[in-house]
Amino acid sequence: MSKHDWPVDGFPSETVVRSAFEDAYVTLKIEQIVPLKILRDGLHESKKYAQVVSSIRAIGLVEASVVLPAPQGTGEYYLLDGHLRIEVLKQFGIPTVECLVATDEDTYTYNKRINRLPPVQEHRMIVRAIERGVSPSQIAEALGLEVQTIRKRSRLLDGISGDAAELLKDTNCPMAVFDILRRMSPLRQLECAELMIGQNNFTSVFAKALLAATADEQLARPQKGRKRADAPNSQQLARMERELAVLQARIKSVEENYGIDNLHLTLARGYIAKLLGNVGVVRWLSHNRQEYLTEFQRIAEIETIAGVLEPAE
């Protein structure tokens, strides 16, 4: 049995779990590392790249990149995960970096298994850091954000009922939605949170529609004797009814083909992801069909087929 294999309790003795990485880090020169992913044009001006730059500048490299030794024995290592981090280190002129050495040729699993941090959880982490003495300016510098943004995120749940916050804690609910919920009573906040979860719709447009449908007595500050600015008039109601009828007709049409289309797209994405998990395939595409590799990587990184229809942030 290899030193990277362990028996699994409760399973037959021949059942083992293989370690995905070598036991120790390896320190490599940047020029030894061969990227397997083509960075898209304009990446250096993106918000994500700026955040990585700010994080490394403020606290150093937190997550080690993952590499795989080249089979030719040339001393090179293929970069499986951490392309942005390596690019930033090149920008800073740092000559060496500690890396994890993978035991399997897998370039896809890492991004696929990421759990995005929901806004409520992010809020709680920021609040806890501030309570432990970390200033908002230090957090902003590490995350590449404005100080005002950090302060706003630290106040995310001000005016939000505990029950509604508990329901939304694991959802990607935008900050703008919490601003809208804050205008409702605690009971109405809970009702709207349940509706958003039931519809799997956490957009500010949907939240505004729920606010417009909220009775005056269910608002945090009822506007007695005054007409609400968000109250729809008769023309708006008639237009909403027409749009709803058209939408229902479209939904019925889509439902007839959605299942089989979704199945085909899911299978195609899975097949492409499996191809990109092979270092040899990625290497050949990078040398011969770079434009295909870029598009294949975008398809493989799609978390849900429904996400393709959502506007990019």
Cβ-based neighbour number of residue 157 at 10 Å: 21
**Cβ count near 285 (within 10 Å):** 20
Name the pairing type of β-strands 26-29 and 96-101.
Answer: antiparallel
Amino acid at 6: W
Task: Give me the residue spans of the domains in the chain.
Answer: 5-112, 117-156, 159-231, 241-309
Task: Please classify residue 218 by burial: count the beta carbons closer than 10 Å to its beta carbon, then call 0-12 exposed, 13-18 middle and 19+ buried.
Answer: middle
pLDDT at 307: 44
User: Who has greater pLDDT, 133 or 230?
Assistant: 133
Question: Using CA atoms, how far apart are residues 50 and 31, in angstroms rounded to an integer?
Answer: 23
25-39, 62-76, 117-131, 227-241, range with the lowest pLDDT = 227-241
- Report the chain's mean pLDDT, rounded to a whole number: 80
Q: Is 59 left (phi over 0), alpha (psi -120 to 50) or beta?
A: alpha
Q: What is the distance between the alpha carbons of residues 125 and 115, in angstroms, rounded to a whole number?
A: 15
| pLDDT at site 304 | 59
Residues 201, 179: Cα–Cα separation, whole Å: 16
Nearest-10 Cα torsion for 143, 148, 154, 159: -150
Task: Kindly state the percentage of the chain with pLDDT values over 70.
Answer: 78
Q: pLDDT tens, 139-187?
A: 888 877 889 999 999 999 999 999 999 999 989 888 999 999 999 999 9
Residue 303 — very low, low, confident or very high, per pLDDT cuts 50/70/90?
Answer: low
pLDDT in tens, 218-276: 888 876 655 556 556 667 666 766 776 676 677 667 666 666 777 788 888 888 888 88
Per DSSP (E only), the strands in the chain are 5-7, 16-18, 26-29, 33-35, 65-69, 77-81, 96-101
Pick the CATH number of 5-112 from 3.90.1530.10, 2.60.40.1180, 3.40.30.10, 2.40.50.100: 3.90.1530.10
3-state secondary structure of 137: helix
Could you tell me the end-to-end alpha-carbon distance of the chain, in angstroms, rounded to an integer?
48
Instruction: Write the pLDDT tens digit of every residue in 5-25.
Output: 555 555 555 656 677 778 888
Sign of CA dihedral 278, 281, 286, 290: negative
Please write down the HEC assignment for all residues of 251-281.
HHHHHHHHHHHHHHHHHHHHHHHHHHCCHHH
Give 264's strand partners.
none
Q: How many CA atoms lie within 13 A of 183 on its CB side?
A: 18
Q: What is the pLDDT of residue 313?
A: 37
- Report the percentage of the chain scoring pLDDT > 90: 22
